[in-house]
Amino acid sequence: MSTTPHPSPLIPSAARAGLTFGLILVVMYTARILSLQVPLLQILYFFGVIIVPIVAYRGARAYRDYFYPTGPFKAGQGFSYVVLLHVFGGILAFIPQYFYFRYAMPTLLAAWEEALRTMPGATAQMREMILQMQGITLWQWLWTDYCLTIILGGIWGLITGLILRRK
């Protein structure tokens, strides 16, 4: 008779914490969008950029202390937790990113294109770059930003995993 192995608490824990983490990302990206109209909100966005790795570290440390209070904790476990935080949190972050890339980005690119037309030192390559950026679809922008969120999660996860590992 075989017994089923004890399931890992990683995914359910990271999913629950990822919702809270996602709310931080939503506030941060909303501040980025609204900072186009209210420049003071850039401070909130930069505060979010600084606080995200701290929150990820504290979440991974709480996960380690709750589920592995005395036993070994591998760097890969901390890495996985932080990456999953970014995966689940990034899903919530799609909401403000959608509005940013749907409404704000085309306006910005059109303004940059107009500014380049009036700029005497602007080259044709610069204008071509703006035209290429205008050709990027909404879903390509969203997917790229989501992947960058996960890549940053991997970087923070590697650092966090190495800090929190315990033999």
What does the pLDDT look like over 27-75, one tens digit per residue? 999 998 898 889 899 999 999 999 999 999 999 999 999 999 988 999 9
pLDDT of the residue at 5: 62
pLDDT of the residue at 115: 82
103: which DSSP letter? I
pLDDT of the residue at 104: 86
pLDDT of the residue at 141: 94
pLDDT of the residue at 7: 80
pLDDT of the residue at 119: 79
Q: How far apart are CA 58 and CA 72, in angstroms?
A: 18
Residues 76/161, Cβ–Cβ less than 8 Å: yes
Cα 117 to chain centroid, rounded: 34
pLDDT of the residue at 37: 86
pLDDT of the residue at 65: 95
This prediction has a pTM of: 0.86
The helix-helix angle for 41-67 and 75-99 (nearest 10°) equals 150
Query: Which of these, 157, 152, 154, lies nearest to 28 by C-alpha position?
Result: 152
Q: Using a pLDDT cut of 70, give the percent of the chain over it.
A: 96
Q: How far apart are CA 17 and CA 36, in angstroms?
A: 30
pLDDT of the residue at 131: 86
Phi, psi of 73 (to 5 degrees): -135, 115
Handedness of CA 29, 31, 35, 39 (dihedral sign): negative
Taking 70 as the pLDDT cut, the residues of the chain under it are: 1-6
